[in-house]
Amino acid sequence: MKLSLTIVTLAVHALAALLVVGTLIPLLPVGAWLVRGWDFPRVHIAVGCALLIVLLLVLGAARGWKPDITIAIALLALAGAWQARRIAPYTPLWPTHVPSASAPGVRLLVVNLDVRNDRHGAVARMIERERPDVLLLIEMDQAWAAALSGVRADFGGHAEDIREDGLGLALWSKHELDNPEIRELVSEKRPSIHTTIRLDDGRRARFVALHPTPPGLPRDHDGDDQDGRYDSRIRDAELLLVADEIAEQSDEAWVVAGDFNDVAWSHTTRLFQRISGLRDPRIGRGLFNTYHAGYTLLRYPVDHVFVSPGFAVAGMRRVEVPGSDHFAILAELSLELSENHPTGADADDREEAEEMVEEGEQDAEANGEAPDV
């Protein structure tokens, strides 16, 4: 019995050490994918800390209180509390970041189609059922373009870059699009869409659609890193370049949407918010985990809608996309006031962002992905 308790205690201590280290690793200011990957499972780590604390209390009662158990409980409590603080804003317990609208608004639907998905008809019916005014389609290839041609006909405004291998983007709108433009911000493999949506009342909102490179994705060719996977800096640079542009034009209304391949609570996404001054409608409403749709216990909020102050949200929910590994996000947005919005960035934030952009651009250039200027 004593030997069994010892083995269990060692196993619990090993798991506790893993959770504590997993809490500390994302604090490192590096873009390595093995580091940035620990940004994702904050909910899992917080729950794991709570469960291990309970188990350690039981072990302490069974084998007597010893310093190792007390220290482990203290470290787990600190790690769990730190993780919970990061998660708490994405629960209904927190004040909302974007106010609720009293009247219907523009229905924006953000859909990652999944390039491997062949349930074209079911997805088309889902889109028609949700009746979006603005539709952002991610991983749009020729097969999806042909399958959704009937849906496309319902929208008068189009901005799209159809590409294979899950790299295409399409923005379709029932509102007029002014000066739609496709840009390759950091990597020539990753297009982004930039346009202005002219609303029915004549007001306008700038719109940016993004799908940056996910950290940990295998490279198509040899890169600088030995394991052949992308780190986070190309992704980070793309997000922060957009944030900087928004900060420079903060007198306009902005919407930024897409699959960021980053969780809502990561350092990069929060830095993006501080520099841009944009707000997250998730805060105070819920996690709205969108990926992976096939695994209930392994889902993270990676598909986003950010808006400038002046917007209100009439509704926001997750929508099942038949056959896709992502859920869609439906946000009903109302532009109630368009005014200059301050950012929350300080000099340190701006300096850090500049360094991350520089690292991302160097990474893209080293791997032959830098876009032509």
Residue 356 has pLDDT above 80, yes or no: yes
- pLDDT tens for 5-48 read 778 888 999 999 999 999 999 999 999 999 999 999 999 999 99
Neighbours of 85 (CB within 10 A): 12
The pLDDT tens digits of the residues spanning 309-327 come to 999 999 999 999 999 999 9
Query: What is the predicted pLDDT for the residue at 117?
Result: 97
- CA–CA distance, 24 with 336 (Å, rounded to integer): 41
Percent of the chain with pLDDT over 70: 95
Domain ranges of the chain: 2-90, 106-366
- Domain 106-366: which topology? Deoxyribonuclease I; Chain A (3.60.10)
The pLDDT tens digits of the residues spanning 66-123 come to 889 999 999 999 999 999 999 999 999 999 999 999 888 999 999 999 999 999 999 9
pTM of the model: 0.93
DSSP label at 26?
G
Over residues 123-144, the mean pLDDT reads 98
Instruction: Report whether pLDDT(224) > 50.
Output: no
Whether the predicted pLDDT of 223 surpasses 70: no
User: Which of 320-341 are b and which e, b meaning 16 or more Cβ less than 10 Å from the residue's Cβ?
Assistant: ebeebbbbbbbbbbbbeebeeb
pLDDT for position 7: 83
Q: Percent of the chain, pLDDT > 90?
A: 84
pLDDT band (50, 70, 90) for residue 2: low
pLDDT of residue 289: 97
**C-alpha 266: how far from chain center:** 9
pLDDT at 338: 61
pLDDT exceeds cutoff 80 at 373:
no
Q: Which of 215, 214, 216, 198 is nearest to 206 (CA)?
A: 198
